[in-house]
């Protein structure tokens, strides 16, 4: 799960990372009011969306008066901001953050990520942060500083000092840098983040180290133990199909094709998508309904897959190990009686009690297409879709 910049700044400041004073607003009037309330004479107004690249796309503006803030934010609210990270549809702006402008001496890039190769938290930093960080990492990869954290001992002070020296931070500010690095690392591990990024981390004219931007991503599977973080979720920034799935406890990723997939197990779901592609079709989604595919979950899955208007056929592929095919078959039958499904449905069951399962499907009287192997199921799904929903595909398979 991603959170907004202003939320990440609040989280990080609780761990000792310094940020400029700022205030959130939900309307242009409120933005102007909050600037007056804060005081000062220069502010930076920042569109709050779950994506970076806002600066280059017009989502970050320096303003010199409350009137200017109101004008600038009139053009932000309700608009969709398209940056190089959002995709062409952009992300809606419904909140802006008004921050006291800071005189910048230097911009540094600082990121904490999970490095799968070393299986460690890795710190990535660059003395040349700011908006062109992607170019720097492509053109001069050697200028990037990296350090991994040994999990048994955590981030050590000497490592932080080493990073600070490599970034060319003045001796008088090294201790501040150590505090910043350790604060980020503690926030990362204690809150089960998968990414913390500060770009830019700035050194101000008066020798302070401040996070001017902040991004955090959290491990969805650990959110249950951080209610104060899961509360920060903003559905307006998510793919509506994926938020519906998350609400129902299903693991779903929306794709561009038109064959809906209902599968148990992530690996099997990926194999199903591959096989559909191999058979000449394109999957509409990844969906793992989990191990205990109860009738309720199967019904939820059908509703979710059908809520995508592009879906023209549905492939149900269940391997019952601990589960039982007859239960799953009952679930499919129950779901199809409850949910109006007007596209061909192909069902492939394998594993425990497969014969009983097939029998339940056959005797249900529902127009299901049954398949034995995954390849056959994928070919039938692609065939059913290609025959343009011809009624003949809807006859009951025997």
Residues designated as active site:
109, 197
Minimum CB separation of residue 24 from ligand GDP in Å reads 15
Q: Which residues are CB-contacts of 18 (< 8 A; sequence separation ≥ 6)?
A: 176, 180, 208, 209, 210, 211
Minimum CB separation of residue 390 from Mn ion in Å reads 52
48 makes contact, choosing from Mn ion, ligand GDP, none, with CB < 5 to 8 Å by partner type, with none
Angle at 298 between CA 358 and CA 338, to 5 degrees: 90
Question: Residue 125 — left, alpha, or beta (φ > 0 → left; ψ -120 to 50 → alpha)?
Answer: beta
328 vs 319: CA distance, rounded Å: 10
Residues 121, 188 contacting (CB under 8 angstroms): yes
Q: Segment near ligand GDP (CB under 6 A), from 26-34, 96-104, 238-246, 314-322?
A: 96-104
| DSSP per-residue codes, 280-343 | T--BSEEEE--SS--HHHHHHHHHHHHTSTT--EEEEEEEESSS-HHHHHHHHHHHHHHS---S
By CB under 6 A, residue 111 contacts ligand GDP: no
By CB under 6 A, residue 213 contacts ligand GDP: yes
Alpha-carbon dihedral 83, 88, 93, 97, rounded to 10 degrees: -10
Which residue's C-beta sits nearest to ligand GDP?
55
212 makes contact, choosing from ligand GDP, Mn ion, none, with CB < 5 to 8 Å by partner type, with ligand GDP
Angstrom CA distances, 87 to 51, 133, 162, 190, 260, stand at 10, 19, 38, 32, 23
**Beta carbon nearer to Mn ion, 213 or 288:** 213
Q: Which helix (H) or strand (E) holds 199?
A: strand 193-204
Minimum CB separation of residue 213 from Mn ion in Å reads 4
The residue from 54, 95, 244, 380 that contacts ligand GDP (CB under 6 A) is 54
Q: Segment near ligand GDP (CB under 6 A), from 48-56, 72-80, 166-174, 337-345?
A: 48-56
Minimum CB separation of residue 125 from ligand GDP in Å reads 15
Q: Segment near ligand GDP (CB under 6 A), from 47-55, 225-233, 254-262, 327-335?
A: 47-55
For residue 226, the SS3 value is coil
The residue from 131, 253, 366, 389 that contacts ligand GDP (CB under 6 A) is 131
263 vs 219: CA distance, rounded Å: 23
The terminus-to-terminus CA distance of the chain in angstroms comes to 45
Helix axes 28-38, 66-74, angle to 10 degrees: 150
Tell me whether the omega of the peptide bond preceding residue 201 falls within 30 degrees of 0, making it cis. Answer: no
Query: What does the binding site for Mn ion look like in residue numbers (CB under 5 A)?
Result: 199, 213
By CB under 6 A, residue 130 contacts ligand GDP: yes
Q: Segment near ligand GDP (CB under 6 A), from 97-105, 150-158, 302-310, 322-330?
A: 97-105
**Beta carbon nearer to Mn ion, 213 or 308:** 213
Which residues within the stretch 214-273 sit at the binding site for ligand GDP (CB under 6 A)? Answer: none
Known binding-site residues for substrate equal 264
Interface with ligand GDP by CB under 6 A: which residues? 44, 46, 52-55, 60, 99, 101-102, 104, 107, 130-131, 199-200, 212-213
Known binding-site residues equal 46, 53-55, 99, 102, 107, 199, 213, 264
């Amino acid at each position: 799960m991603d959170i907004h910049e202003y939320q990440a700044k609040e989280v990080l400041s609780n761990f000792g990372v310094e940020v400029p004073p700022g205030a959130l607003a939900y309307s242009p009037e409120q933005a102007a009011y909050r600037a007056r309330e804060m005081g000062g004479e220069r502010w930076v107004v920042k569109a709050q969306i779950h994506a970076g690249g806002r600066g280059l796309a017009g989502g970050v503006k320096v303003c010199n008066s409350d009137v200017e803030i109101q004008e600038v934010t009139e053009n932000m609210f309700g608009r969709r901001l398209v940056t190089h990270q959002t995709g062409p549809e952009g992300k809606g702006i419904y909140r802006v953050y008004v921050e006291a402008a800071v005189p910048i001496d230097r911009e540094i890039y600082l990121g904490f990520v999970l490095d799968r190769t070393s299986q460690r938290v890795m710190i990535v930093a660059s003395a040349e942060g700011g908006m062109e960080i992607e170019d720097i990492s492509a053109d001069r990869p050697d200028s990037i500083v990296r350090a991994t954290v040994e999990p048994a001992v955590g981030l050590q002070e000497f490592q932080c000092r080493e990073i600070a020296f490599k970034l060319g931070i003045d001796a008088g500010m090294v201790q501040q840098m150590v505090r910043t690095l350790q604060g980020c690392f503690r926030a990362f591990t204690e809150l089960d983040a998968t990414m913390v990024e500060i770009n830019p981390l700035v050194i101000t004219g008066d020798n302070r180290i401040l996070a001017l931007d902040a991004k955090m991503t959290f491990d969805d599977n650990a959110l249950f133990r951080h209610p104060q973080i899961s509360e920060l979720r903003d559905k307006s920034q998510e793919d509506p199909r994926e938020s519906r799935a998350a609400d129902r406890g299903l693991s779903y990723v929306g794709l561009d094709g038109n064959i809906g997939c209902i599968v148990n197990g992530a690996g099997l779901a990926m194999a199903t998508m591959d096989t559909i592609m191999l058979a000449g079709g394109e999957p509409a989604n990844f969906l793992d309904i989990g191990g205990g595919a109860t009738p309720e979950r199967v019904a939820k899955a059908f509703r979710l897959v059908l809520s995508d208007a592009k879906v023209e056929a549905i492939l149900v592929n269940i391997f019952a190990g601990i589960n039982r095919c007859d239960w799953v078959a009952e679930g499919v039958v129950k779901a199809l009686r409850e949910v109006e499904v007007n596209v061909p449905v192909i069902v492939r069951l394998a594993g425990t009690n497969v014969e009983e399962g097939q029998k339940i499907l056959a005797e249900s009287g529902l127009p299901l297409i049954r398949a034995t192997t995954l390849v056959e199921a994928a070919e039938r799904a692609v065939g059913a879709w290609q025959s343009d929903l011809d009624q003949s595909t809807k006859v009951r398979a025997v």
